[in-house]
Structure 1
Amino acid sequence: MNNIQDKLIYVWDAYCGWCYGFSKSLQGFNENHPELPLTVLSGGLFVGHKKLPIASFSHIPEANKRISQLTGVEFGTPFQTLLEEGAFVMDSEAAAKGFSALRFFAPERAYYLASSMQQAFYYEGKSLNDPATYRKIAIAHNLDPEAVLARFEDVASTKDAHEDFMKVQQLGVQSYPTLFLQKGDEFIGLGGGVMTAEKIEARLESIIS
């Protein structure tokens, strides 16, 4: 059905609630298409002047209600407490470094590692700026936690995170999450947001038929 070089590119940010909402749709679609390798890139949503306390983003509580209604994901009590306190700083660079450290040791499981990160933040209220969070995720995925933490602290993970940000900019992504089908040098949008696995499937069918 698919050309050998066709693959999926998923652009996300660990601190993006809509990405958390999209995770089940993407998982269902991805598992239906083992023939399409999936590359996951961190987008850098809260970096530079946007790296602010969560209370600075007044739209988040209302957005989260919509995300829950439309996708069925649950925001855990520890996260809600973090949101109400308002002081927590979402640092997408730190999160991208953490993702890079995990991905380095299990690139074929990148999506599942990303999903575990969002579960840790949005359900368990764990900081994705904190190395301890990556220790826990590493153990859960049978990765060497010490090796993951060493990689997290290494300059290589910062370089890797910045390379992801650069690739995402080159793709011209304006919103998260965004899923692409890459056909050779062409990148075709498959969707994101609140799309179900079935809708992504229909979009793929319309592209390849």
Structure 2
Amino acid sequence: MKLVYVFDAYCGWSHGFSGVLAEVAGRHPELPVEVVSGGLFTGARRVPIREFGYVQGANAKINELTGAEFGAAYERLIEDGEFVMDSEAAARGVAALRAAAPDRAAELAIALQRAFYVDGLSLSDPDTYRRVAEAAGLEPGPVLAAFDSATAADDFRRAASFGVDGYPTLLAVDGSRVTVLARGHATADEVDHRLSVLSAR
């Protein structure tokens, strides 16, 4: 059995789930974690952030429920309103980091979300991946090369193959059996309980 974490790096609720993901992965080192990017902000939704008027209210709710941090640099992006979230570029970056250290995919996905939601860095900017790679002790050159050549399509197809249409979604995958452990919000204890029920079957 493995865990499959389907998220979008530009999704505030995914950022809010980061602590739970880290705790679940820490409690279950025997379970590999595959990270798959969804496409929340693509096509017609790739517009200046000011057009999503609900963002600040949603972030307040996420902070209240999860304690997730939203940094001053990110808040300035919201206030300016010009920034465009591009989930395709973010998915390419996730793929590049994942290729560099597959067994650290969850940790790197969390770090990437912090780069945006705390440090206010664009996930379309190669320098963001340089920073994340260096902070994780990875050689940045291969990550940057992979970011240039990666595509998001495989991730988007894989997310769709699981029937995921909301982020974050945490799945337990055991052969052909796929079980939803969390969608949107859950505690680590709730995920643990669902895993224990699965193990007892």
Q: TM-score range by the shorter chain?
A: over 0.9
Q: Percent identity?
A: 49
Match of 1:62 among 53, 57, 63: 57
1:26-175 map, 5 Å? 26-154=21-149, 157-158=150-151, 161-175=152-166
Root-mean-square deviation over aligned CA pairs? 0.9
Match of 2:176 among 168, 171, 185: 185
Whether 1:195 and 2:190 are equivalent positions in the alignment is no
Instruction: Give me the whole-angstrom Cα distance separating, in 2, the residues matched to 1:90 and 1:23.
Output: 19
Instruction: Give me the whole-angstrom Cα distance separating, in 1, the residues matched to 2:136 and 2:93.
Output: 14
TM-score by length of 2: 0.97
The residue matched to 1:200 in structure 2 has which SS?
helix
Question: Structure 1 residue 174: deviation in Å?
Answer: 1.8
Instruction: Give me the whole-angstrom Cα distance separating, in 2, the residues matched to 1:204 and 1:104.
Output: 27
Instruction: Give me the whole-angstrom Cα distance separating, in 2, the residues matched to 1:186 and 1:61.
Output: 38
Instruction: Give me the whole-angstrom Cα distance separating, in 2, the residues matched to 1:44 and 1:174.
Output: 9
Question: Structure 1 residue 206: deviation in Å?
Answer: 2.0
Letter in 2 for 1:203: R
Could you give the per-residue CA deviations for residues 31-55 of structure 1, whole angstroms, max 9, x where no partner exists?
1111111100001111111111111
Question: Structure 1 residue 30: deviation in Å?
Answer: 1.1
CA contact (8 A) 1:22 1:192 kept: no
Q: How many residues align?
A: 200
TM-score by length of 1: 0.93
Instruction: Give me the whole-angstrom Cα distance separating, in 2, the residues matched to 1:42 and 1:75.
Output: 21
Runs of 4+ in structure 1 deviating by more than 6 angstroms, as ranges, are none
Specify every segment of 5 or more residues in structure 1 that has no aligned partner in the other structure, as ranges: 1-5
Specify every segment of 5 or more residues in structure 2 that has no aligned partner in the other structure, as ranges: none
The residue matched to 1:173 in structure 2 has which SS?
coil
Instruction: Give me the whole-angstrom Cα distance separating, in 2, the residues matched to 1:198 and 1:125.
Output: 31
Query: 2:18 corresponds to which residue?
Result: 23
Letter in 1 for 2:177: E
Instruction: Give me the whole-angstrom Cα distance separating, in 2, the residues matched to 1:208 and 1:151.
Output: 37
The residue matched to 1:165 in structure 2 has which SS?
helix
